[in-house]
A and B are shown apart, each in its own frame.
Chain A
Amino acid sequence: MIATLKSWLAIDLRSLAALRIGVAVVALWDLGVRACDLAVHYTDAGTLARQDVLTWFDNRHDLAVSVHLLGGSTAIQALVFTLHAAALLAMMLGWHTRAATAASWLLTLSLHLRNPFLVYGADVLLRLLMLWGILLPLGARWSLDAATAPVAARERTHCFGIAAIGVQLQVAAVMFIAGAAKMATPFWLRGEGLATALDHEFHTRPLGFWVQRQGWLVRPLNHLVMGIEGAGAILVFAPRWPLRVLVVLAMWAMLAGIASTMEVGFFAHATAVALLVFVPSQAWDRIARAVSRSERLSRWRMRALGLTARWFPSARVDVVESGSRLPRLPHLLAELFAAWLIAYTAIWNVGFWYDRDYEPPAGFAELGSALFLWQQWGMFTSIETTGWFVVPGNLEDGRSIDLMANRGRLPTLEQAMEQPPDYRRPQHIAERLPNIHWQAHFATMVLAPDQPGPFRYYSRYLCREWNRRHSGGQALRTLQIIYMTRPTQPHPAAHAETEYERRVLWTHDCFG
């Protein structure tokens, strides 16, 4: 029984190594994107000061730790970001892998708690993968740890255990819930789901608009997406390796399609990386054979190994494997924790399916909220409106300025005065905001228009920083956050301007 399970569900160590490198690279890339808005998003002079985020959480995550709260200045945030990047780099190289993974997870969690408005699907997935990664031997292959480990440590080829099963279930759950949620949505079943999703101009790229207009293409694709997500998530567990490879390739193709038609940040990248856990040994063997046939590559590899041995002669060997006979108690605890994680994830996802305000039972909930295990994968199933934002401001001398002139960040006087607030539909709505984090920030406002928090904090940022730089007649008196919106529809039409409703979400008096 166990042997069958083992041959079926064990993960190849190379898959885990690929997962490790992939997660670290995507997370580093994302950190770089976030660092562009270091002062705007993470300091007390930014869109969400520390007291605001703590007020917003209102003790909901008080068991969690956020290192990023330790200072409100740009210098301290830069320091923490540097630490974070160092941890991710160590994880990528596989240097003290387990510690590096744990540090990366903690700092990622901390970053997300510092500014929760910027978090979107890919962030949640990366964070969960890092948490699972702590329990798995991510550094057993293709790492500095492995390069300097004794040969005996390289004997094992697979990893099996509760944690190994758990990470596969987690990745499959992302796909399965995304598919199942679509199957429970009438407009997806009618074949109009994809067209509606692509009508969400907030995210759609030019290629997406083109696909949406091709009636013959969009309907089959709609069902294909549902099929790949729903059935693929089950078929990927198939005990036949060519089928597995096929499913993974199909999913990658779908993700490539999503990434080229929609602006979803790193979601496609992160999911593609997560699917690496399903790549079977046979596939790696074939790749390895192809690589070893190439002589130049293997020579390069030998040189790299030599350099590694010279530069990191004493990298710690840390190849404790899930399911191995190595240290008993820590290993047992890790497996117990993995079992708890599986149970929590299952309960949470089922509970959330039935009730959007679901709270897991007490005892479960505390640890879950401390580890920030919140997840939600029903994507593109409740898109009711689409549109873009206009933020007009009024100066003391009566002039009207455009506070979105710098794409969400505080504009300079020249930028803001260049032209009055423009309510015509912009050419590329998806490019009105700099990146996915800004889109998530504004999406928070649309999704919870009755919560004053996000509006108030953002308006306060604009007022405070503008009036710090300008005074007298140029001081900012009032501003509005306006959502230019229309309902989404599956049938592409030339969206005339009259369709859009000017919905004032928030009016702010800077001196009130």
Chain B
Amino acid sequence: MAYSRADLRGSTLLGLRHVPILSFCGAAAALRCVRAYGAIAALMLARIFAIDARALAALRIGVCCVALLDLTLRVPDLSAHYTDRGMLARADALTWFRGYHDWTFCLHLIGGALWTQIALFALHAAALLCMLVGWHTRAASVGAWLLTLSLTVRNPFLSFGGDVLLRSLLFWMMLVPVGAAWSVDARRTSERPLSYCGIAGAGLLVQVWLVLFLSGLPKLGVGAWLQGQGLAFALDQEETARPLGWWLRSLPSLNAALSWTTVVIELVVSTLLWLPAWWLRVACVMLCWAMLAGIYATIDVYMFPMLTAVSLLVFVPARSWDWMEESFLRSDAGRGTRADHMAEVMSPVEPETGSSTAIRWSAGRYVREALAALAIVYLAVWNVGLWRGGESYEPPQPLAWFGRAAMMRQSWAMFTEFTRTGWFDAPGTLADGRAVDLLADGGPLPELEDALSAAQQKGRPADVHAAYGSTRWLSTFKIMRQFPDKDAHFAYYGRYLCREWNRRHSGYDQIVGFQIVFHGRQVGAHLDRMPVLEDYTSTVLWTHDCFQ
């Protein structure tokens, strides 16, 4: 089902006008009547579920930019996170994360050396770049999706919500024509559909809505949010609070208002997106963006707000894109060749050919739509199951296989569990008895001087958020803290620190052993004042002997 923009605007009324007359003309007419009503229903659905080709193109460009940014930010820790000399060797990953690896495939396991990982990262970047410019878009998006899954599975200690959203979006983007506008592919073909309406498109819209709606819904079951303190609690988590958020934490009345605003936007505004009035959609997208900008400014949840903002582009209606294109082209008119070139790239289609082009139903499209239908069923069953059955829910078999193999298991409950917040350090002893702090750089192996000087500094770091090496390291430590009874986490990390430190240092500089200590306090216990050192209790999570 693909409709041009002209169809979508005018024909609903046209259908309605003929139906009552026809319905009196016997059985044959009744059939025609059913068909007519079917057509009306289809058009109504199309008004809701059609996505403008330019919206898909904007989504493609946005997601690729975020994914490329993420890939770049992973590069500094390439060796520490993904090679056999890092914190999780391949054998350890396969032993510890059996559950993951039984279902999926992981290209990043083919080699443990740095060069293999560099080659795979280059391949990943190439796939994303191809997708960004829209060159062989479908193949590139399949490649990008596979490599994204593979990268996540290589080191599951690093994952968090943003990764789940990224791979879900990439999954849907494989199935919809994201390269239909603003792409190299579109320039090389005359078949340029204006909009796309299909099962996969509906799935994409549902996915984008679910992220917002399901992060709002669980908040209604949490006392802190019902009392209007949810935001303050979220901001009280020092690991993720940015300076602006830390300041905002101490303003109770503003907090309460913003808490409720957040819940309303997540639940109500996101749902209003489904109404096919263009102005309403624009307004709702704007409100959601405002909320996401607020989150971005106050809390560091890495690429999550950016990705969510980008994903909301699919709800932006054709009229806005028309308006943007017109104003963009007018302002650029006559500015020389570059503007002309841009105009040619940006303009989706000429009016006369536009109305006749539709996406044909090829065999490939049947497969894609069937896959999309399966994924929608999965999302429905999974989310209902998760709501009723809790974390341990497992869907019935074919769906369970799909969910694990395509890694579509997802949970969007954010900021609903508030436990402890604080910072880590790893006091260790060198062969000659000197004290070092192996977490001087917040995760990666520090230099000797840094480790020595960090061991002298006691007390709360001035900026707890900055004390973590990167968001990926933060995720590692969060997972470690969540499962303190599972020794393997610490054992792998500890082995990495010992092995690499002693590979680089010899004699008296070698490390003998160390502890991993968490200094934490209860979130939301003292919202009225700044935390003092007495609030924190230190817990030794792990003791490691390097020469065991």
* A→B interface (CB under 8 Å): 44, 49-52, 54-55, 59, 62-67, 69-73, 76, 110, 370
Contact = CB atoms under 8 A, between A and B. Distances in A.
Contacts of A67: 110
Nearest to A56: B91
A66 B102 contact: no
B110 A54 contact: no
A63 B114 CA distance: 8
Contacts of A55: 91
A51 B150 CA distance: 17
A52 B109 CA distance: 14
B169 to A, nearest CB: 24
A65 B109 CA distance: 9
Interface string B102-115: 11111101111101
A54 B101 CA distance: 14
Given A51-B91, A54-B91, A62 B112 contact: yes
10 contacts: A50-B109, A54-B89, A54-B112, A59-B89, A64-B111, A65-B110, A67-B110, A70-B150, A72-B102, A370-B113
B120 to A, nearest CB: 10
B112 A59 contact: yes
A65 B113 CA distance: 9
Given A44-B101, A44-B102, A62-B84, A69 B95 contact: no
A49 B91 CA distance: 10
B110 A66 contact: yes
Nearest to A366: B113
B175 to A, nearest CB: 22
Contact of B109 (A49, A59, A63, A69): A69
B90 interface: yes
Contacts of B113: 62-63, 370
A44 B105 CA distance: 12
B417 to A, nearest CB: 32
A66 B112 CA distance: 10
Given A50-B109, A72-B101, A370-B113, 17 more contacts: A44-B101, A50-B94, A51-B90, A51-B91, A54-B91, A59-B89, A62-B111, A64-B111, A65-B110, A65-B116, A66-B110, A66-B111, A70-B106, A70-B110, A71-B104, A71-B105, A110-B110
Given A54-B89, A62-B84, A63-B115, A73 B102 contact: yes
Nearest to B108: A70
Nearest to A75: B105
A39 to B, nearest CB: 14
Contact of A69 (B102, B104, B110): B110
Interface in B355-391: none
A139 B105 CA distance: 34
A69 B150 CA distance: 12
Interface in B59-118: 84, 89-92, 94-95, 101-107, 109-113, 115-116
B181 to A, nearest CB: 33
A76 B103 CA distance: 10
Nearest to A50: B94
Nearest to A79: B105
A44 B101 CA distance: 9
Given A59-B84, A76-B105, A54 B90 contact: yes
Given A54-B89, A54-B90, A65-B116, A70 B105 contact: yes
B84 A70 contact: no
A473 B365 CA distance: 53
Contacts of B94: 44, 49-51, 54, 72
Contacts of B150: 70
Contacts of B104: 71
A50 B150 CA distance: 16
B248 to A, nearest CB: 46
Given A44-B101, A50-B94, A55-B91, A71 B106 contact: yes
Q: Which 9 A-B pairs have CB atoms at the shortest separation, nearest pair first?
A: A54-B91, A51-B94, A71-B105, A62-B112, A65-B111, A51-B95, A63-B113, A55-B91, A69-B109
Interface in B34-69: none
A60 to B, nearest CB: 11
A54 to B, nearest CB: 4
Contacts of A64: 111
A50 to B, nearest CB: 5
Contacts of A62: 84, 111-113
Contacts of A63: 111, 113, 115
Contacts of B110: 65-67, 69-70, 110
Nearest to B90: A54
A67 B105 CA distance: 11
A65 B111 CA distance: 5
Contacts of A73: 102-103, 105
Contacts of A54: 84, 89-91, 94, 112
A44 B109 CA distance: 14
A70 B102 CA distance: 11
A67 B109 CA distance: 8
A112 B426 CA distance: 41
B101 to A, nearest CB: 6
A70 B112 contact: no
A44 B98 CA distance: 10
B188 to A, nearest CB: 22
Interface in B103-139: 103-107, 109-113, 115-116
A59 B111 CA distance: 10
Nearest to A51: B94
Nearest to A80: B105
Contacts of B111: 62-66
B499 to A, nearest CB: 10
A73 B100 CA distance: 12
A370 B106 CA distance: 21
A52 B91 CA distance: 7
Nearest to B91: A54
B229 to A, nearest CB: 46
Contacts of A76: 105
B187 to A, nearest CB: 26
Of the listed residues B89, B102, B104, B110, the one surrounded by the most CB atoms of chain A closer than 10 A to its CB is B110
B4 to A, nearest CB: 39
Contacts of A110: 110
B397 to A, nearest CB: 15
A348 B115 CA distance: 25
Nearest to B119: A65
A80 to B, nearest CB: 10
A62 B84 CA distance: 8
B450 to A, nearest CB: 27
A89 to B, nearest CB: 23
